[in-house]
Amino acid sequence: MATRKQSELYSGKAKTVYITDDPTQLILYFRDDTSAFDGKKIERFSRKGEINNKFNAFIMEKLAAAGIPTHFERLLSEQESLVKRLEMFPIECVVRNIATGSLCRRLGVQDGLDLDPPVFEFFLKDDARHDPMINEYHIRTFGWANPKQVEQMKEYTFRINDILKVLFLEAGLLLVDYKLEFGDVQGQVLLGDEFTPDGCRLWDVKTREKLDKDRFRHGLGGVTEAYEEVARRLGMPL
Ligand code: ATP
Ligand code: TYD
């Protein structure tokens, strides 16, 4: 039987989450909305929801095939996906292969510097406090996740880096940095939320042209065109 959408559970900055008639599953509706600077800059781009929904499905399936447990079940429509319902950790896991963005602002390091080994950072999901950077002690003390779950998140995040760096490089793209969110279901840590150009940075390997949400953040134009270009290079059906 097809899963049916019930009430809205949550409406975030880019997706709306729906409860379904199966309590173990949710529907993610990828809207055309794009936000930056903790929701202060918002714009709607035609087709962005559809592109991100399909982009996310493609990446989640690649990761699952490589042995990463994810919440993704299947595409339901142009802008909707069915996922396993998780108890999300209020944490963002960021890996950086090249220095840019907030790392450069915070530490004064040169934009574009190769980071070897890559840098791992945790942020607290709290827009009102501008997603402050936190460490494992904060996570443990405040009970946002237990030490075993923290280890799992770090392990999966680095394994995902190894998988996706190669995937993007073969498409002529540098995976500069990205953000992941994880959740728990029945004692298992699973990758949740999304992997799209909204939550990562991708540069052309030769020209270092930005092909991700920085085009929106910095008003460079061609936002959906850049996302489509990445999808095309990956051989993704759109
Ligand atoms: P941000 O952009 O900082 O992630 P947001 O809440 O505005 O915040 P959206 O992508 O618009 O982001 O909202 C989607 C919400 O759904 C997020 O809060 C995310 O943690 C949550 N979510 C994603 N996958 C699942 C899942 N499988 N189970 C439960 N919640 C999920
Ligand atoms: P970061 O450089 O900290 O953010 P900014 O320069 O936009 O302040 O972001 C690192 C990467 O993680 C980048 O690809 C964007 C992604 N990210 C999100 O998508 N959402 C977030 O809340 C955070 C902290 C990072």
Asked whether 194 lines ligand 2 (CB < 6 A), one says no
Number of domains in the chain: 2
pLDDT at 237: 84
Residue closest by Cα to atom 1 of ligand 2: 102
Give 149's strand partners.
none
**236 located within any domain:** no
Mean pLDDT of 31-50: 95
Whether residue 190 is found in the same domain as residue 130: yes
Asked whether 92 lines ligand 2 (CB < 6 A), one says yes
- 3-state secondary structure (DSSP) of residue 183: strand
Q: Which domain holds residue 44?
A: 8-84
Q: Mean pLDDT across the chain, nearest whole number? A: 97
Whether residue 51 is found in the same domain as residue 72: yes
Which pLDDT tens digit goes with each residue over 136-184?
999 999 999 999 999 999 999 999 999 999 999 999 999 999 999 999 9
Whether residue 213 is found in the same domain as residue 136: yes
Give pTM, 2 decimals: 0.97
Residue closest by Cα to atom 13 of ligand 1: 12
Whether residue 100 is found in the same domain as residue 214: yes
Which pLDDT tens digit goes with each residue over 68-102?
999 999 999 999 999 999 999 999 999 999 999 99
Element (H, E) at 217: helix 214-217
Write down the residue that tokens 């990758």 correspond to. Answer: 191
Whether residue 162 is found in the same domain as residue 70: no
Contact 91, 181 (CB under 8 A): yes
Whether residue 77 is found in the same domain as residue 91: no
Contact 95, 158 (CB under 8 A): yes
Contact 191, 156 (CB under 8 A): yes
Whether residue 189 is found in the same domain as residue 99: yes
**CATH (domain of 168):** 3.30.470.20
